[in-house]
Amino acid sequence: MPTFPLAARQRALAVLAMLLAMFLMPSAQAWGSVQQPGVEDPGTRFFGALLDWDTDSAADYAQRLGAPAALYGQNVSLPVDDGGREYLKGYFSQIAEQGSHALLTVRPGIPLKDINQDVASAFARQITTAAAGFRGKVLVRFAPEMNAPWVSWGQEPEAYRAAFDNVAAALRATLPDPVMVWSPTAEKDYPFQVATSTPPKGVPLASLDTSGNGIWDQDDSAFEPYYPGDDVVDWVGLSVYHDTTGAGAASNTLPAAGEFNDALHASSGGTSSGEGGTDNFYGTYVQARTKPLLVETGAFYSPGAGGAAELDVKETWWHQVFASVAEPGNGSVRAVVWNETTEVRDPGRVPIDWRATAEPSLANPFRTSLDTSGLTIGPVTEKGLDNVPGIEAPQPKTGTVIQGWAAWASAGSVLVAVAALWFLSSRAFASKWSYTGTGKRDARIDMLRGLAIVFVVVNHVGINSVFQLLSQETLGVVSGAELFVMLSGVVLGMVYGPRIATELGDVVDGTTKRAWKLYFTALAVVLIVYGLSLLPFINAAAVTTFTDQGTGGAGRAAAGTTYDLYAGMEGLLQFPVPQGLIPALLLLQVGPWQFNIMGLYVVLLLISPLILVALSRGFTWLVLTLSVGLYIAGSIFRFRLLPSQFEDSFPLLVWQLLFVVGMTAGFYRHHIIEWFADRRRRWLLGVCIFLAAACAVFSWSGPYLTNQLDFRLALIPETTFRYVYDTFFSRTYLGPGRVLNVFLITIALYALLSAFWKPLSRAVGWFFIPLGQATLYVFIMHVFFIVAIANIPVLRDGNLWLNTGVYIALLAILWVMVKTKFLFRLVPR
């Protein structure tokens, strides 16, 4: 009998062991069934996350947590505009790479009564197109918190149920097995107002008065009127947050014992049976109807508010949440979705950080607790998109984050370069480069206005390109709008200031005529754009709707909400015209959001003679004191003087400060230049320039990356940056840091142009100066270019270099139009 060497026997045994393992081990498909649980599996509970997709990504979150979430949430407006479609494609692409399911929160941007079958079908087709190739499940949470008054679609039960039915039917006809989620709010004090027999919005009392006592009050059910029905609701949802602030001041408090579980099982109001306090959400809508429950949650923490430490607050809360969902009595909780965003709450401008993974000191213990909760993390589907012919998966925006010593070295290099320029400008030989103009027109102001209008055009067109690397808060925490407003005041002070004392009548006549010209121009643009929107071959949604990016007065919570800026304008084609439409049109309550600042200029021009008279009579400090006082009042109380649309983005009481300070600077331009030119004060100019550079470095430290060519300096923790930015540099209500930055950057750029005028003028003056001398013309014409560009399908694909080429062509066309005086007789300039 032959014998085998020991090594050969060992190899043979190894082969046999491998073959045996192959037969005994589950197949790849079997492993997939274990690692990739389905939404239908009642034994699986998912962990999800809501992200701020402008500053975060699914990949970054997975890195912080150590694993992907099983599902990721995203807001989507109804209807979906072009920008929203691109966001959705990027969203599905990102979470597909993580092997996660999708949770779409649909926020209607039109009245619920208008969401008919046709509108719902168009919406469903848009969602289906964006989700092409997506392997995971799509959960759709339609119009959440519909029983609350703080959402535009709130407390209209009949219209809500009909809209829910239409959207559910449309999605089921196009998407493979979508999961429809009904998600009211469990907040106490429903109906959030005093008892009444006449509900708002013309809603019939009978549809809300479930107790049958003839009054809509706290005895009525907070849920029953809004429930669409078991046939259309697949899951139910509930928002349960630890937030004890109410309407009071921000306070970081520890969750009370059992707080989460008590909220989960709380009762509200009475049912149609007339029994008060028996409408228990969990018992009635989860257990009795055997509906899976999705819970959205998070713990309130406001940096700088004092009270309990962040880790103590959030850790106590997540321990409660995870322990509660593990209890047998809460077995129907199928998903827990954690809020991983920050926001600023308007009352008191309170910054809130809901995140549990912002820093390793939070993320590590959070993951440890999550691992013991029984909740499933990702991946839960096969990663990546299916290969769908004709569909190219968009790439998420990425960029470079410079960290550690490299970040500080980069920041130091910038400050050293600024110091070198400052030193160079003080040398005697540099005088040959300086500005020597003596005419009435200051070419330096024209160049700055040209730069500002280019920034405005780039940001308003809104397609991603290389130009965004310069236009989006690169020079500091300022945008083109702030520079535009301030420089407009400077020009007005320069032009009319010398004449106000002797030619008051002419000045009043000139500014009034200018104001009326701007007003009628604004009306004309509003009507022309509406006319274009009626043409079947033109999609004017880019200028007739606005998708909130979370940077306005409504805060980040409103991100993704789409507003119809021409709501009700179809009444112009009716007879008689509906009451209130003509006043709304005349008050500029409708129109393109890119153009609404025109209303602000009209008002400021009308009051400018009063300011100029006060300046000419030596009441400068009174003017500035009143202006600052109005700014403070507007920032704190946030009330609007006019119903015009511009008050939403450019509150009059706040933004007047930039215009008034600019007008004062223009009025005293020569005095200010001479004051800074004094050698004894030259150091102060240097301080202003250095601080402007420091503000730019601070802006580069933000977590907002525009595209793959962008970068950020990780100089300070992200939470610190967000707190400082939201508290001191807010845009709509012009935080004090932003106002200071506008002043500093204006001084610094003016000084730079003064010292190095000749080389800069030769390099870029030929382009910026003509645009700066015709800013109103460029501003008007750019609205129609926005419509044209929005109707070029290839530009929706987000090709960085193609879009950059489009911007170059657009700016070149505008420059040629200015140089050739195209339509100058018709279009104001």
User: So which residues are the catalytic ones?
Assistant: 145, 296
Work out the burial of residue 827: count CB atoms within 10 Å of its CB; fewer than 13 is exposed, 13-18 middle, 19 or more buried. middle
Q: What is the dihedral of CA 653, 658, 659, 661, to 10 degrees?
A: 110
Rounded CA separation 703/766 (Å) = 35
Residue type at position 67: A
Rounded CA separation 782/785 (Å) = 5
> Within 13 Å, how many C-alpha atoms sit on residue 97's CB side?
15
Check: CB of residue 233 under 8 Å from CB of residue 180: yes
Structure tokens at 407: 């970040």
Check: CB of residue 777 under 8 Å from CB of residue 828: yes
Stated length of the chain: 829
First to last CA, the chain: 106
DSSP 41-98: -TT--EEEEEE-TTT--HHHHHHHHTS--SEEEEEEEES--HHHHHHHHHHHHHHHHH
Residue type at position 93: S
Residue type at position 595: F
Check: CB of residue 295 under 8 Å from CB of residue 260: no
Structure tokens at 99: 């092997």
Rounded CA separation 358/405 (Å) = 22
Check: CB of residue 290 under 8 Å from CB of residue 277: no
Tell which phi-psi region holds residue 267, choosing left (phi > 0), alpha (psi between -120 and 50) or beta: beta
Rounded CA separation 398/386 (Å) = 23
Pairing of strands 71-78, 342-345: unpaired
Residue identified by tokens 């089921």 is 172
Check: CB of residue 718 under 8 Å from CB of residue 703: yes
Rounded CA separation 732/654 (Å) = 9
Cα-Cα-Cα-Cα dihedral sign, residues 115, 120, 126, 128: positive
Check: CB of residue 283 under 8 Å from CB of residue 338: no
Q: Which helix (H) or strand (E) holds 478?
A: none
Rounded CA separation 205/67 (Å) = 49
Burial 436-471 (b: 16+ CB within 10 A, else e): eeeeeebbbbbbbbbbbbbbbbbbbbbbbbbbbeeb
- Treating both helix axes as pointing N-terminal to C-terminal, what angle do 736-755 and 652-667 enclose, rounded to 10 degrees? 30
Neighbours of 792 (CB within 10 A): 11
Phi, psi of 562 (to 5 degrees): -105, 135
